[in-house]
Structure 1
Amino acid sequence: MAQVGDQLTQPEEGWKRVEDTDTSIKYIGTWHSASNSTLYSGGTMKYTDESDSSVYFMFSGNKIRLIAYSNSRGNDSVIVKIDGVEYTFSMKVGSVSPALVFEALNLTGSEHVFELIAPSSTDTNNQVRIDAVDIDINAYIYQPPAQVGDQLTAPEEGWKRYDDTHPAIRYEGDWIRWDLTGVYNNIFHYTSDEVGEVHFSFYGDKIRYIGRIWSSHYSDGLEAYIDGVLVSSFSQLGEANTEQVLNFEKTGLDLGKHNVVVKRASTSDTANFMIDAIDIGDNGRLLHPDEVTDVRDLDIGKRIRCHYTAKPDEVGYFYGLGKEHYVDGINDFIPPESTNEPDGDFYFIMVDDEFDGRRKLIADRPIQNEISWDTLNSAGIASGSGIESNVLFFELPVIYSNDSDTISVRASSENDSNLYMAWRALNPQTDTAYGWGSDSSLEMPQWLEIDLKSSKKFNSYSFTTRDANVESQPLSWNIEASNDQLNWDILDSRTSGIVPNYTRRSFFFDNNKEYRYYRINILECSRSFVVIRDLSFSESEKYSSSTIRLITGGVNSSDTDNEWDEHIVNSDLNGTITPGDDDVWNWSGKGAGNRQAWTTTTVSGSPSNRIARGASTNISLSQSIATNNLSINRVFRPVLLIDIPSLYKSLILYNNHYYKYDNISQVWIDLGVVPTEISAKETLFLEEGMDDLTGIDSNVLKQLEDDVLYLHTYKPK
């Protein structure tokens, strides 16, 4: 067995060699390469003649050897740390290469941290070197997690990255966006404003701030606060100019929502301060400081995310209200200048709480360009009343085959034509005359099944009848769910008459269990085969109604009694923004031209024209545009009117007993005598109370055989 000081040209039995060039070995400080196929293992070695340089990696197994060139110019007080335990040894042992200069055997544990450190005595005559590392034959070395000060050009495993251009980041003070090769996504933001701050929120349990280290003009007095607590004081001033540097990190947070502020320690500091990107755990998501994920939390100035996808000059589909559709942290959102074929997120910002209790929200950006007013009008969106958005909202992703990375579908049968394959039920861009169609030669029941590839809890669903052959509609059906595709629970049962073609209907049911597989089982159909399209299940809270329409714009430039002037030009949204802020409303087109938003407003004396609002330099600009114009500057900015879900639970009081109605069995369930204790009554309402009374009509109430019934409601605390 080799001893320290021996020449060791090859690893001994039970060992394997890792060369100095392995990418898992991290070199910190100044290291040089030397080549000699005779002297060095693998033909190369690394050396340093500067103190405080170091080598860092992790390895598995219970033993390690360091191989290096040992001679009179080697350092005789080299430091090695393994799991924090320090060892000192010499590289000034004869003239041997490659030599075994250090070893540690019988280590405790299966994974270890290795550090090789150049001491203060290091210089050209006292070098520290590394030629190779030998470890157990079944072990491996790997790169350690990044540390503050490291360059980190991509998120590590378990993390995901958001660029500094992401709309969830709010910049306070005067900031400059700068294009530069070498920074992440070739763009960064910086400020010399002494009150400049970065604000954002995130859901997760860890965070990293990616910036730079620069030799001059950058601040050495920056602070990061999470939930109001100072978690890091850091500097962007250093000796070497380095981009994409991990400036600070915080791990071990409680999994949940956290608010982050990064700013200067002193308001007298006017040195530059920059941000390049944000990394968070891949189990989380970045959130705007004013962002909510549940419509019930909306208030004036708050915003909620939504996804929109469309084909050129066609009204598309909205889905995933409150959800994130992460792509890469760069292209998640529809660009502020919009596009003619959008497929991305945007924000709905709440601007008003209307007299009838409806919340009014306006898109923070144009979500589609090169679309005519005539196209929007044909879809029902351009009118003042708009269109019920349950025609447009989808919770499941759009797919283009029966199997995808996110979900898959299958059916009991499919019509011979490609136009009736199962996946077409989940693709709203399918021709409206088609969808999933069952085999016309087979009798009912026929079913369509969705595999979510993970368990989720759904409590509502919707689908659309085809725009042809009213006879192919379902007349009765069950919604069923399973976790093994063998045992199916019935969650909802419905019976229906014929409805007009291309009618979208939504249904709600009680469900507190997560399932992987959901299916609609058609029991009876009005024809020999059934067609279902735009099928979607939802895990979101139900709301009674919502509407999508265009914004109002005023009949001329002096008419300011309209939504564009009231909310976008003049409102500070209860003090949450500066009125007309282009970083909030994206009305300018961000240098891409005069992006003017269609409105509902007709031009006096010109019935074939409509008012369009906004321009590259004039937020108040009002122009009369022909309704068939679909140039790149004609854009769609939707308004959403939404009723917030009921916060109340309800039961029917009859003969001193509480009852609830079961939509599946279509019978009343007797819950027993009304409890006398308040706590027991609250528990009964929480566990058994109905939150959807839409299916209870006079015929249902007559089942209780009493003319005097009482509706009791309870609002959970």
Structure 2
Amino acid sequence: MATVGDQLTAPEAGWKRYNDTDTNICYIGSWGRMTSLNNFWNGDDHVVDAPNGKSIKLRFMGSKIRLIDQRHTNRCSSLQAIIDGTAYDFSENGKPQCQTIVFEKLGLDNTIHMVEFTSKVQSSGDFCIDAIDIDDTGELLPILDDPSNLIAIAGDSQVALSWTAVTGATGYNVKRSTTAGGPYTTVGANVSTNSYLDTTVTNGTTYYYVVTAVSADSESCNSNEASATPEGENLLRITMNDSSEREYEVNTTEFNSFLAWFNRAIGTGTSYYSFDKTVGKQSSTEYLVFDKIISFKTTTIDGQVVLKIIMSDSSEREYKVSSTNDFVNWHNRTVAPCSTGTTHYEFTDGVDGSTEYLSFDKIISFEVMPLTR
């Protein structure tokens, strides 16, 4: 009887062979397929050259299994077969030889088994599969359908996930990575519904998610990947030219959108910006007209110079500055009115610790003085 390391160009008596293209073999990650190959079973092979996080899943009825592949010096030597949760180490690295038994497990109970072939962390070398041999009385079985339509919605220190339910699934595993394409770590195991709220995230970090469906004896391939970047809320305070103020809780994305609208080229863009507001159970949308905005600030001292600016509504603004040159040059540009340059000037060090943006045509005068304590 053949054993690991032997060449086996056809299944032995008591075995049967499935090609690497069988629809019941699930490939996790970005695998390539090589065709028209000499000395390979059916002339083809599946291969991945960066095996970390890539794997093969299958489900079969039987009591024994073999993985057939070309052994080679460029193959990975740190691989594992995980059968019903028990891991067995193996290698595809060695003297070149096609259709080689690189892994086998005999003496299993004659029942349904879940198998995953994968690489260890930080493995290198090609990882390939040419064929699978199992009992001649056994069979490869379908794996659960993959979850579909995975959606990730970012919030403040959380990401809400939802997906289409899978028939026959008893639960779902939610997996996450900070790198597109994985490798992924399970953050929610055997989730009972087709939604999940991940609260173990950090604002400003982009997370990539996949979901698998599970049952008593099966786990599907990964769903589509969905990503989201959770963001904290900031208070945006806007001063209108009648001296009234507007305040909005906005995340970084919405603030940047507002800033881009306010700082657009002269004569372009819409004349208003809208904010969605919710007070109690009442939701509304507020529209601010561009030329009615005097300034706005975001909130997140010495031997310092203070720049005092008087606005068109007689209100005053004070800022700590190391030099007034940038502001003076911005204010002293061509006017007709405000025909060049941006529509606002940004101060990042308000005396009250804020960042404030001033509209050009609302400034009456400004003065500079030393800051005394």
Instruction: State the TM-score, normalized to the length of structure 1.
Output: 0.25
Structure number with higher strand proportion: 2
TM-score by length of 2: 0.45
| Higher relative contact order (Cα pairs below 8 Å, separated by 6+ residues) | 2
